[in-house]
Chains A and B, each alone.
Chain A
Amino acid sequence: MHASLGARALAVSLLVLALFLAAWHVATQGTGPTQVMDPEYAKLMGATATTGKSAMPGPLDVGATIWQHLKRPFYDNGPNDKGLGIQLAYSIGRVALGYLLAVVVAIPLGFLIGMSPLMSRALDPFIQILKPVSPLAWMPLALYTIKDSGLSAIFVIFICSLWPMLVNTAFGVASVRSEWLNVARTLEVGPLRRAFTVILPAAAPTIVTGMRISVGIAWLVIVAAEMLVGGTGIGYFVWNEWNNLSITNVIVAILVIGVVGMILDQALARLGRLVTFPE
């Protein structure tokens, strides 16, 4: 009897995970050569040099740390020691704000560009030039003009989420089938009602695809942005733990960033399935 493809894929996934964890465990178990040294100096050098234990945490260390974070996600012991949950909440909050601002700007502007060949041509050079700029290149300008690191991060999220949504909305609106528009015209549907009952549903799959690309980019960028501006957020957490030489926490953060990114992506994918229509 053959198990379904899904079940077999799951089995292979678990196998790959097990192999990876085992290899990781073995690789971080061994002890290297040790040196005899002055106890004061040994303190500075850490466990790697004195006991031969690898500084790279094994899967069990990481698991234990994850458990610690899960037990106390929201503790706050001052600026350099906050729970992972708090840091994540800061990052998600920034992404949400910048992203929503971008939605509010990109979708109406995309509608305008998509519906007006004049605006489409007039704004195209600006979009073409600004779109390929790395969002982090805006950071100094944002810091200088906004003078607030948190807001600057939000601005950077805004600017990086803007383009995919803008371009996709404009494209989706411009390529609404003319026969659907003609249906609305022959029914004397006004421009506003037409926008909401014909153009929006027809362009929605393309728009949501843009939104999905944007949320992915925003989540990529927030980590880098928070490393730059510091203070709070999962990006800052990674940087801070690197400075603390806590590789365990860095690995935990990488996992958490991946999981949250996946959830954001899946949420938009689900929205996409809601608005797609079969033809």
Chain B
Amino acid sequence: MSAIEPPLALLAELTHRCPLRCSYCSNPTELTRAREELTTAEWARVFREAAALGCLQLHLSGGEPTARRDIVEITAAAREAGLYSNLITSGVLLNAALMARLVKAGLDHVQLSVQDADEAGAERIGGMRGAQAKKREAAALVRASGLPLTLNAVVHRQNLHNLSALIDIALDWGAQRLEVAHVQYYGWALANRDALLPTRAQLDVATRIVDEARLKHRGRLVIDYVVPDYHAARPKACMGGWGRRFLAVSPAGEVLPCHAAKSITGMVFPNIRDTSLEAAWTGSDAFNAFRGTDWMPKPCQGCEHAERDWGGCRCQAFALTGDAAKTDPACALSPDHGLLAAAVAEAGETRFRYREFS
């Protein structure tokens, strides 16, 4: 195998605590308790080691990162380590005083999540009353602070019809960037897949809306949008390749190749409390298991796309086939590709029948 490249970005999952209860949340069902969470000093150490290892970007995430009382100190530690920090927040705990302290601590960017465009829908999906108004306030606070704002909307069958309205919200709230992300199906979301998976027709409409909005708002709003796996012929490069660009640290200190990697049962991950970040990145079995192309099965082995998509998503391969070392079924060349088509047909059919009889 060629030399191991240094990582570019670190996702710090500061806590699993969160006032919201999204049905597609990627946190594991076994949530880490507050007293098991890494301390401020431990996070500072992780940030220093990440920067020394080559990380440039840091995503402060959760759960809800601002649920930690030391979020300002953590942000300051990130700046001190020389990392570019991005706060990924639901915004519901943000207030003017906290915003000011975060800016002073050196925060670089805020990414605010929205669950839906209409208030009732958003509060049903997120499971918290009054959340939408708080988010609107949070967006105003970020804007007033002078920091750039990205809005992140997770879309699925239940809210995709509101995509135009979500784009309007992004403009109205003053975001420079809108990320439209499709639900990833493992864990909770996999259990709810039939209710969440969009139909092909819904997707075609969504793609058209995004294309039109990109043109119309050029120079004002950047829209990130990727066609979801279940409707694509090629998988996405998981995190730019397992152990290649990205690493995550969980609230209790586990070092993960992706935030969802713990969904692969049986895999053992190094913990920052027992080892250095560098040892975890370069020397651990977990990171080396799917690094590069040597581990690949057919049809990935020797495939011309192998170094472009790296065989797709390991968590998705595991969720759908029970084997993390298989080709991602999102790939049309995978012998398991039929699993996705079947899921789409089923979800689409339910909807179609519903329409027929309604």
Chains A and B form a bound pair: no
Residues of A at the B interface (CB closer than 8 Å) are none
Interface on B for A, CB 8 Å cutoff? Answer: none
